[in-house]
Amino acid sequence: MKNSFNFYSGNSPLLISIPHVGTHLPEDIACNMTPQALKMADVDWHLTLLYDMAETYGASVISAKYMRYVIDLNRSPEDTSLYPGQDTTGLCPIDTFDKQPIYKDGKEPNQAQIQKRIEEFWRPYHHKLESELKRLHAIHGVALLWDAHSIASHVPRFFDGKLPDLNFGTADLQSCDASLQETIAHRLQKSAYAKKYSHVFNGRFKGGYITRHYGVPTLNIHAIQLEISQCIYMQEQAPYLYDPVLANKLKPLLSELLETCITWATHQKNKLI
């Protein structure tokens, strides 16, 4: 199996997953892609840099190396739709968010190739994600998964108008205890850093496969997804540059939210003692 991810092991109850930040494209796959696809517009750009404070809080971090066009780590291996009846992209997408073809004519992956990608790229990431959650839970009696994403502020294919700045997903409170969402919402209301940003819980993005699959509150494993609108920390047009001025306004809020999650998890741990 390929080493499809980067990983840092922390000592707090928090694991940050960044499944769509990868930009690597294997040569045998890239050669079949269109010039439009090779621009990689749909990457969750620069999130490892945006969350570079995570290690300070003792969080474990797993981030993808390979681009989501190779395989989408936030989809089920059965390619079940996350939003039945709505337009979505699949496990091995064949078109971009702008509905441009990813592959040259006749070069789309077949079922055998998709299965190979599952084994080489999808399973290693998820095996590590699952084993790390188990390790953290064994140590603390509680584990908290923060699934980190970003997307362009305007994607007509998926939503009308402009996306809120911060889009939290808890699968309609199925992936975490209600008190965790309430604690984060309270922090957003009180934080001076949050005043400049709009936010929503369980709006257009309720959490993908990772949030829904790994969040099991009855086992004291809690998951929340944050989809950040890219206009608040980077340039949304090619070459998709990181904007340190914008990002440095956002990062203190992200730090507060991560610290809030760890504090909440610690309180959960203390209830078990």
Tokens of 74: 């936030």
For the chain, the average pLDDT equals 95
Please give the backbone phi and psi of residue 98, each rounded to the nearest 5 degrees, phi first: -90, 10
Residue 266: how many other CB atoms lie within 10 Å: 13
Per the structure, the complete domain to which residue 223 belongs is given by 5-272
Return the percent helix, strand and coil in the chain, to nearest 5: 35, 20, 45
pLDDT band of residue 85 (cuts 50, 70, 90) is: low
- pLDDT of 270 reads 73
Which CATH number covers residue 228? Answer: 3.40.630.40
HSE at residue 184, side-chain half, CA atoms within 13 A, is 27
Number of domains the chain is built from = 1
Residue 97 has pLDDT above 80, yes or no: yes
Q: Residue 215: which of 184, 166, 266, 181 has the closest Cα?
A: 181
Query: Is 95 within 8 Å of 54 (Cβ atoms)?
Result: no
- pLDDT of 88 reads 75
163-197 pLDDT tens trace: 999 999 999 999 999 999 999 999 999 999 999 99
Please give the backbone phi and psi of residue 106, each rounded to the nearest 5 degrees, phi first: 80, 5
| Among 43-57, 77-91, 180-194, the least confident range | 77-91
Please give the backbone phi and psi of residue 113, each rounded to the nearest 5 degrees, phi first: -70, -40
Tokens of 69: 């066009």
Strand partners of residue 226? 148, 168
Residue 8: how many other CB atoms lie within 10 Å: 12
The widest CA-to-CA distance across the chain, in whole angstroms, is 60
